[in-house]
Chains A and B, each alone.
Chain A
Amino acid sequence: MTMHWIAGQTSTGSTGVFSFTNIPQTFQHLQIRITARSTYTGAENMFMRINNSSSSWWSGHALGGQGTSAYAASYTSNSYADFTAIANGSQSANVFSAAIIDIFDYASTTKNKTIKLIGGFDNNGSGYMEIRGALALTTGAITDIHQLGGTAVGGANVLAAGSRADLYGITSNPIATGA
């Protein structure tokens, strides 16, 4: 297994979403590593859509905790993947959330797309931690990821300057490379 950087985006404080287009179809899996914070002062979740579609093909489950009790949640027939809570403008300065999203067999044209996320933030007295699964009932290869952000769907709110997302390709190469 080797891990290769494909593309990255960093917010300058004027965008609400990240987008990756023309994703190479040459890897086995994709991984997105995110550190983000919204300028919005209310509760914020991270959302994602694929292939420039707002189809209601998403369902998902969550296991999470906010420091005192655990919770579970689910949804169906969503037009977006609903991911974990992220740090917002109410958190201490310079506190960003972190998340890792794994997209398995993204180039397959026969499999529906299953995605795993682990993410959250701690604010030295508050915070959330979640692991989530999402399913997109589409067998189409994923060629773009858009509206990925910790803001209202469509990017109505703004990601704080310094927020970033990096897209990596994971190979199934059997040669040991140290990765």
Chain B
Amino acid sequence: MPKGMQTIYSTTLSTVQYTVSFNNIPQTYTDLKIVISGRTDAVSTFDGGPSFFMNGNVSGNLASFTAVKSNGSSTSSQRTTDNAIYIGEVPAASTTSGIFGAVEIYIPEYTAGKNKQVLIQNASSVNNATAYLNVRAGLFKNPSSVTSIGVYGGSGNWVAGSTFTLYGISR
């Protein structure tokens, strides 16, 4: 296997969809990276609800994150514990059409017997008005190897044109 980064799977939605899943993830890489260009149909300017989970584990409040975020005028920090890790705000239905948010999720050592620590970078801007910039550290308190990942749409569904790409990084 080449040592570097390779695309494992990529999809562009042709219709609305709430959950995008990566199943049967190969166990042959060192790290994973997910890149999302996404927007939901929630009736608001932004949807702060998109999140992701691993191995179908959506109970027990085993997921949490620590965030630093800016909305263009102030900076804040937050922590949330839930069943999935929230990836930050993305543009929604009340935003000018054709504007999508950019999200990158890094999952190191997804096959190791460690709790899964992830890094999230998110930038979503809507036509020089409100904007959000997020960086987040997330944790899944589960040392099991990651074999599947699901990405929720939050308060709305992911709209057509949203893209989801899973990369494998090998050493």
Residues of A bordering B, CB below 8 Å: 2-5, 8, 33, 35, 63-72, 87, 92, 94-100, 118-131, 162, 164, 166, 168, 178-179
Please report whether the interface of chain B is mostly helix, strand, loop or mixed according to DSSP. Answer: strand
Contact between B66 and A3, CB atoms less than 8 A apart: no
Bound-state CA distance A99–B139 (Å) is: 14
In the complex, B119 has a CB within 8 A of chain A: yes
In the complex, B169 has a CB within 8 A of chain A: yes
Q: List 5 A-B contacts (CB under 8 A).
A: A92-B115, A129-B66, A129-B135, A162-B112, A178-B7
Given contacts A70-B75, A96-B117, A97-B137, whether A63 and B68 have CB atoms under 8 Å apart is yes
Bound-state CA distance A2–B76 (Å) is: 35
Question: Nearest 9 pairs between A and B by C-beta?
Answer: A65-B77, A67-B79, A5-B3, A65-B68, A120-B137, A127-B66, A122-B139, A70-B75, A178-B7
Nearest CB on B from A121, distance (A): 5
Which residue from A87, A97, A122, A128 sits with its C-beta under 8 Å from B64?
A: A122
Using Cβ atoms and an 8 Å threshold, which residues of chain B touch A69? 76-77
Contact between B139 and A63, CB atoms less than 8 A apart: no
Nearest CB on B from A170, distance (A): 10
Contact between A128 and B112, CB atoms less than 8 A apart: no
In the complex, B118 has a CB within 8 A of chain A: yes
Which residue from B66, B138, B167, B170 sits with its C-beta under 8 Å from A128?
A: B66
Bound-state CA distance A99–B31 (Å) is: 12
Bound-state CA distance A22–B135 (Å) is: 33
Nearest CB on A from B78, distance (A): 6
Bound-state CA distance A168–B169 (Å) is: 10
Which residue from B7, B75, B106 sits with its C-beta under 8 Å from A98?
A: B106
Given contacts A92-B115, A121-B139, A128-B66, whether A5 and B76 have CB atoms under 8 Å apart is no
Using Cβ atoms and an 8 Å threshold, which residues of chain A touch B113? 94
